[in-house]
Structure 1
Amino acid sequence: MKTYDIDRKLREIGKEPLPEVPEIVRRRQDEVYASLADLPMHGRGGQTAGLRKTRRIALVAASAAAIALVGGIGGAMVSPAMADSLKNIPLIGSIFKLADDLGLRTADETGLAAHPDASVTHEGVTLRIPQLVYDGTRLSLAVTREGEGLVGGIMDSESTGNGMPAIFPKGAIHSFDVLIDGQPVHRTTGKREIGLSGKPTSDPNSALYELTAYSLTGEPGPILPDSFVLTAKIGLEGIEEPFVFELPVRKNTDQLAAAFNEAREWKGNIVTLERIEFTPITTKVGFNITSNDKEARLLRQHLSFELWDDRGRMLGLVGGFGFFNNDEQKQMINKLLFDRFVDAPKSVTLKAFLPEMEDPSASTGRYKVDSHGELIKKYVKELEITVPVDRAGLDKLYDISK
């Protein structure tokens, strides 16, 4: 249940007497009790006794709120004060389940996700990293916050335009820096590019951050080690001291890779599909685009790509990276990260499309969207590439129980 929906749901439930405990309350109780059972016996990462006490108080407060609801919800509407208090209770449970990402949900359901439950508190605000998962391709972190005096969501910001810095409400994340084994990585380092991106979830007090790495030479192979210590330094608006976490990370999934050399040409652009790497969480696609002339390069800058299975299902795009292998910018190397497949397909198809422009005569500007806010696309059939997949191998990879 989303935290910000609780007060509305409770008001709806409170309109009628209920013969039994409402489902929303029972769910909240179950989540609280499950979290209490998972409490570590000893602190992690230098956590002090005071911080452990704070965590216990927060969980007891959540339990008390759930019990109070059982006693008072049937007879009357919830008071505004109680509704405000409930908003400060963090979502207890899996953040990965809130993600629109089958890979992360799979990691949560199959036990691939680690649960460090690391927490740091400054000035009455607590940040936690309750879950993380690393499949060798991307590292995903769940971040949650709780405390008093917070304004807006954990990733809220307001653009001021004209190249000026964004404005953040109190308690919003304004900076997120990471180190791997003590070395800064959010930059180009030698032959690799490591990027960090964040996105909100349906819970305003939770966010997902992902660390991905790409080879700048285009060569396959591991870029990050299979195990390392991740240091995350997170800044919140209105709180002077940063929240620093040190987390052990270990890859705990296998990988299936397939090499190809399938090429298609359209209007001076040659797209060559080179490699697809599968994990139970992520699908990584490597391809390059060679543009023979200036007109082809102008078209290339608008090309976008999707990955489909043989049953007509499109994968969600997780992230990506592209770079030129020389100063002439004739060839662009692309690494795109997609979600995992629902089940193992017999074949996959890389599709190219051009988003329609609001002003068809312009080479730059705004893209046209439909009534649902989705891009209007013109697919380029000439660049479509379909390749077979080792279905038995992928079935085995996806079956975590084996």
Structure 2
Amino acid sequence: MAASNIEQELKKAGNDQPAMSPLVRARLDETYANIGGIQPKRKGRTRWTGLRLIAASTAAAGVLGIGVLATAFASPAMADSIRSLPVIGSIFSTLQGDSGLRAAGEQGLFATVNREVSHEDVKLKVTDTIYDGTRVAFLLTVEAPNLKDGVYDNGRKTVKLGSAIDQVVLKGENDGGAISSLSGAGGLFYGGAGKEHPNTLVFEQVLPYANPNDAPDVFEASVTIKLDGIDHEFAFDIPFRKTMQASIEITPDAKSENGDYRFQVANVGVTPVTTRILTELEYKHAFVLTNKEERRLTRVGIAVFDDQGRRLTALNGEGIVEGNKIVYDRRFATTPGMSDYLTVKPFKIEDDFAEEVKESQYLKGLEVKIELPSAD
């Protein structure tokens, strides 16, 4: 069975949407560049690193539910605890381009860990973490005499801080056993936290759990980071605990078709941070896809909108060919607020993943509407 990593999405449509952040673009770059085995274009050291984790074989796994108020996912006890605490801001709440991480920061659905390691006059500090069972994220601030306003001097040239990361290894353990999702290279992304925090990076690890409720409530991750020009490995442990205790999972089995394609949304799911959507796109005129037909299907993306017309930011995903169809497992940043339904609109990619989708690009007859259950 042939597997294809598939292009994901583009910038969010609408004037109320923030510009695509470099971190989001990095995730899209890595996914899009792997279509047909094409390697990502790089200029010297990669400014943003995106390491794929989830194998294409996991694309057929079941997924979750979407678009609910972030605080509704916290347990009542946790919500009361959050409300009783003084308001303490997090850099997560200032992030652009990832509404899920930003909402988690705004709603207090993050954990403060304050772990730090030093070597000579260089210090690395991990302050906040987010973990929803689908992905983990943490903030890393670097303090060094050769780092100023996000520009790092490695002794040979000056580069942005993201380009100064020479190596990252992230491993996880839970109750003495290794967590496979963190034990290999893949699914890890990092990028800058924005102009207001130039010396801070956001690290994000994608997890393979079909349902975040299946993921462990807590685990410990060991992180090893090397900075360019420094002959030292910065190693420290980061505790992760779920900062939201529930998710919604539905299997809508929503279908549509036109003269060439059958389209199905098989599973939809959400946490306050991450939305996952499992779709199938079938070419009706063949039992097995030729190379040309497979390439044609890989040039079909999906735009996802909530009931306010806000387009969800695409994060990453994979596709796998099964006979005459491609199954896609895609992840998006959840939009804040409660949504009654979700609209999924397949479209033809004309330029690249960053294009602004025109009305003429949508595939007629394939739009589906997913009714969402209310949060309990």
With structure 1 as the length reference, what TM-score do the two structures score?
Answer: 0.60
* 2:95 matches 1:99: yes
* 2:273 matches 1:284: no
Query: Which sits farther off after the overlay, 115-124 or 282-291?
Result: 282-291
Whole-Å separation in 2 of the counterparts to 1:324 and 1:346: 32
Equivalent residue for 1:255, pick from 224, 229, 247: 247
- 1:244-301 CA-to-partner distances (Å, cap 9, x unmatched) read 1211211131111111112223464432101111212222212222344435422211
* Residues 183/108 of structure 1: CA separation in 2 closer, same or farther (3 Å cut): same
- Structure number with greater CO (CA < 8 Å, separation at least 6) is 2
Aligned twin of 1:354: 348
- For 2:338, what is the secondary structure of its paired residue? coil
- 1:174 deviates by 2.1
Aligned twin of 1:336: 330
- 1:368 deviates by 9.5
* Residues 278/186 of structure 1: CA separation in 2 closer, same or farther (3 Å cut): closer
Contact 1:268–1:296 (CA<8 Å) still a contact in 2?
Answer: no
The runs of at least 4 aligned residues of structure 1 exceeding 4 Å deviation read: 154-157, 167-171, 184-189, 219-223
Aligned amino acid, residue 238 of structure 1: G
> Gaps spanning 5+ residues in structure 2: where?
1-87
Aligned twin of 2:317: 320
Contact 1:323–1:332 (CA<8 Å) still a contact in 2?
Answer: yes
Aligned twin of 1:5: none
Contact 2:320–2:327 (CA<8 Å) still a contact in 1?
Answer: yes
Aligned twin of 2:264: 272
Whole-Å separation in 1 of the counterparts to 2:328 and 2:257: 16
Whole-Å separation in 2 of the counterparts to 1:208 and 1:368: 22
> Gaps spanning 5+ residues in structure 1: where?
1-91, 158-166, 358-366, 397-402
In the TM superposition, 1:1-400 aligns within 5 A as: 94-100=90-96, 101-150=98-147, 153=150, 172-181=164-173, 183=178, 185=180, 195-202=187-194, 203-214=197-208, 224-253=215-244, 254-266=246-258, 268-291=260-283, 292=286, 293-294=289-290, 295-324=292-321, 330-357=324-351, 367=352, 374-377=355-358, 378-390=361-373, 392-393=374-375, 396=376
Contact 2:146–2:152 (CA<8 Å) still a contact in 1?
Answer: no
- 1:235 deviates by 1.4
Contact 1:146–1:205 (CA<8 Å) still a contact in 2?
Answer: yes
- 1:155 deviates by 9.3
- For 2:102, what is the secondary structure of its paired residue? helix
Whole-Å separation in 1 of the counterparts to 2:280 and 2:208: 14
Aligned amino acid, residue 306 of structure 1: A
- 1:176-217 CA-to-partner distances (Å, cap 9, x unmatched) read 11101174756898xxx96111222213211111111236xx
- 1:75-122 CA-to-partner distances (Å, cap 9, x unmatched) read xxxxxxxxxxxxxxxxx9622123122322222232220010111112
- 1:105-157 CA-to-partner distances (Å, cap 9, x unmatched) read 22223222001011111231111111101011111111111110137737999
Contact 1:179–1:230 (CA<8 Å) still a contact in 2?
Answer: yes
Whole-Å separation in 2 of the counterparts to 1:324 and 1:226: 33
Aligned amino acid, residue 271 of structure 1: F
- Greater helix share, structure number: 1
* Residues 298/320 of structure 1: CA separation in 2 closer, same or farther (3 Å cut): closer
- Greater strand share, structure number: 2
Taking only the aligned residue pairs, the percentage that are identical comes to 27
Aligned amino acid, residue 90 of structure 2: S
The two structures, once aligned, show a CA RMSD in angstroms of 3.2
Whole-Å separation in 1 of the counterparts to 2:331 and 2:135: 9
* Residues 185/242 of structure 1: CA separation in 2 closer, same or farther (3 Å cut): farther
Whole-Å separation in 2 of the counterparts to 1:382 and 1:197: 36
* Residues 268/344 of structure 1: CA separation in 2 closer, same or farther (3 Å cut): same
Query: Which one has the largest radius of gyration?
Result: 1
With structure 2 as the length reference, what TM-score do the two structures score?
Answer: 0.63
- For 1:298, what is the secondary structure of its paired residue? helix
Number of positions where the alignment pairs a residue of Structure 1 with one of Structure 2:
271
Contact 1:307–1:351 (CA<8 Å) still a contact in 2?
Answer: yes
- 1:222 deviates by 5.4
* Residues 132/213 of structure 1: CA separation in 2 closer, same or farther (3 Å cut): same
* Residues 260/235 of structure 1: CA separation in 2 closer, same or farther (3 Å cut): same
- 1:376 deviates by 4.7
Whole-Å separation in 2 of the counterparts to 1:108 and 1:180: 23
